[in-house]
């Protein structure tokens, strides 16, 4: 734990609840955080990037460390990311080398955009001379899982074989997918529940608007968001739409009960990962974990376990919106703009709840299952998801207008432009790539590495 004081033992159910409830804060302290994962690749010829070597991902981390002054953190002797002690957030590596920025909590969308722009300047300045480049797509379009070098992270050595047991595409999720994520705050339990319900119901709509992963293994996958399809075939025990969240009695305790029933992956002791894949956290609470007989979990163990749940919206000390394919820099700014406009303005939140409150569990599940293939063209209640998307984006735009956060005379609505373009064209980013693939590219998918490079 990097010299930190030992985490206290869990003494009661209140400790399980407190791990989430302590995130509550007044509206004046609400912030927005953006996370995004970029695929890395070489040019001439186009190929994946290994961890080691003078021009590998380890060298990329070292170069950004030297440029920014951020310091590395390690898995055993391997640097696997960078932190800045002055702010929350940092850089980390996903299993296939996807280069992730976990942005620090920012006051407004202008600040998140500035943070992203500065990060990309660093990435290009350091990565260019190493022949490391960055790709803004929801899946890497060419390589199989086995062709992508694995990063030296112990947790992934535990997750990969377990994923192969519980889902057909779990290792594709790990090695070939990339997402944008927005992290938002809540004021209390009731506010959390309302925001969770709205964001869960609308997450498939957002997936449709951001669909940007039509290719896999060198050709059209049959899906506009293959990344979203991957998540339907990963691990049903820890993914999905959390339909229980719409039932009476939903709150922190109900989410804790759900989390207790999700099988574990690992426990960290002395900076080492212990493989407990498939074991029960409930048994751990009673000292019945076979790998640590008689030992009971700490609060840190519980927080680690919460981080291994992957529903469409995840609750920790904030809400994580997990439904969008990675895209361009503008797309990366558009995702938090949409959610801030919907969830941080009370009028927009009320209107969004009015929109979704009578959707049935069956309708929500059908949207989740159909969206990966047909995105905004998916039929819904006599119209299409594009029709719902227009209403949702309109609510978000109005919410951002009322926030009245200005930078150089412009408010935050400008960040919605990529989604508004999708709705105006009637074509997702994925469909626009397919038009090029079937047209001017004449089936040459390597062209996407130029046009989708960040």
Query: Does 42 reside within a domain?
Result: yes
Query: Does 8 reside within a domain?
Result: no
Q: Give average pLDDT by consecutive 10-residue segment, the chain, 454 residues.
A: 76 98 98 98 98 98 97 97 89 98 97 98 98 98 97 95 95 98 98 98 98 98 98 97 98 98 97 96 97 98 98 98 98 98 98 98 98 98 98 99 98 98 98 98 98 98
> What pTM was computed for the model?
0.97
Which residue from 388, 390, 435, 434 is spatially nearest to 416, judged by alpha carbons? 390
The CATH number of whichever domain residue 84 belongs to comes to: 3.30.590.20
pLDDT at 1: 39
Query: Does 436 reside within a domain?
Result: yes
Query: Does 150 reside within a domain?
Result: yes
Q: Which two tokens stand for residue 149?
A: 């070098």
pLDDT at 414: 98
Counting every residue written for the chain, the total comes to 454
Model confidence pLDDT, tens digit, residues 288-328: 999 999 999 999 999 999 999 999 999 999 999 999 999 99
Q: What are phi and psi of 102, to 5 degrees?
A: -95, 100
338 touches 416 (CB < 8 A) = yes
How many structural domains does the chain have?
Answer: 1
Query: Does 1 reside within a domain?
Result: no
pLDDT at 85: 83
> What sections of 307-409 are H helices per DSSP?
329-343, 346-356, 361-374, 385-403
Query: Does 4 reside within a domain?
Result: no
pLDDT at 89: 85
pLDDT at 434: 98
State the Cα torsion 71-47-128-67 to the nearest 10°: 0
Query: Does 383 reside within a domain?
Result: yes
Which range of residues forms the domain containing residue 69?
A: 13-451
State the Cα torsion 132-137-139-143 to the nearest 10°: -40
Model confidence pLDDT, tens digit, residues 327-365: 999 999 999 999 999 999 999 999 999 999 999 999 999
105 touches 33 (CB < 8 A) = yes
Q: If phi over 0 gives left and psi between -120 and 50 gives alpha, with beta otherwise, what is residue 381?
A: left
Q: What are phi and psi of 30, to 5 degrees?
A: -65, 140
Q: If phi over 0 gives left and psi between -120 and 50 gives alpha, with beta otherwise, what is residue 376?
A: alpha
Query: Does 3 reside within a domain?
Result: no
Model confidence pLDDT, tens digit, residues 371-418: 999 999 999 999 999 999 999 999 999 999 999 999 999 999 999 999
């Amino acid at each position: 734990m990097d010299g930190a004081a030992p985490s206290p033992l869990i003494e009661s159910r209140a400790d399980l609840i407190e791990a989430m409830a302590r995130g509550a804060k007044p509206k004046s302290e609400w912030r927005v955080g953006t996370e995004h994962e970029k695929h890395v690749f070489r040019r001439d010829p186009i190929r994946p990037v290994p961890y080691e070597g003078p021009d590998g991902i380890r060298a990329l981390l070292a170069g950004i460390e030297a440029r920014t002054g951020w310091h590395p953190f390690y898995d055993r002797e391997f640097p696997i990311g960078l932190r800045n002690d002055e702010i929350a957030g940092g850089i980390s590596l996903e299993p296939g080398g996807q280069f992730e920025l976990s942005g620090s909590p920012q006051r407004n969308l202008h600040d998140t955009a500035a943070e992203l722009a500065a990060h990309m300047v660093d990435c290009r300045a350091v990565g260019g001379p190493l022949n490391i480049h960055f790709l803004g797509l929801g899946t890497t379009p060419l390589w199989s899982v086995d062709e992508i070098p694995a990063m030296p992270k112990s947790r992934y050595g535990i997750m990969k074989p377990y994923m192969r047991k519980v889902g057909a595409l779990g290792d594709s999720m790990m090695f070939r997918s990339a997402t944008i994520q927005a992290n938002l705050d809540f004021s209390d339990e009731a506010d959390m529940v309302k925001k969770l319900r709205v964001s869960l119901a609308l997450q498939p709509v957002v997936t449709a608007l951001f669909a940007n992963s039509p290719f896999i293994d060198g050709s059209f996958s049959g899906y506009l968001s293959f990344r979203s399809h991957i998540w339907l075939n990963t691990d049903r025990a820890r993914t999905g739409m959390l339909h229980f969240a719409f039932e009476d009695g939903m709150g922190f305790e109900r989410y804790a009960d759900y989390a207790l029933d999700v099988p574990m992956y690992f426990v960290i002791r002395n900076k080492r990962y212990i493989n407990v894949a498939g074991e029960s956290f409930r048994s751990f609470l009673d000292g019945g974990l076979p790998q640590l007989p008689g030992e009971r979990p700490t609060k840190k163990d519980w927080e680690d376990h919460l981080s291994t749940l992957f529903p469409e919206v995840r609750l920790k000390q904030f809400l994580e919106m997990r439904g969008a394919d990675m895209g361009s820099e503008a797309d990366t700014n558009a995702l938090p703009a949409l959610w801030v406009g919907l969830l941080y303005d009370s009028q927009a939140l009320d209107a969004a709840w009015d929109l979704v409150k009578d959707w049935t569990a069956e309708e929500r599940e059908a949207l989740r299952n159909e969206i990966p293939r047909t995105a905004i063209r998916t039929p819904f209640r006599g119209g299409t998801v594009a029709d719902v998307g227009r209403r949702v984006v309109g609510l978000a735009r109005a919410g951002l207008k009322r926030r009245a956060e200005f930078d150089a005379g412009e408010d935050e609505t400008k960040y919605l432009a990529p989604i508004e373009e999708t709705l105006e064209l009637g074509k997702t980013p994925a469909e626009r790539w397919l038009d090029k693939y079937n047209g001017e590219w004449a089936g040459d998918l390597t062209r996407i590495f130029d046009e989708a490079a960040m």
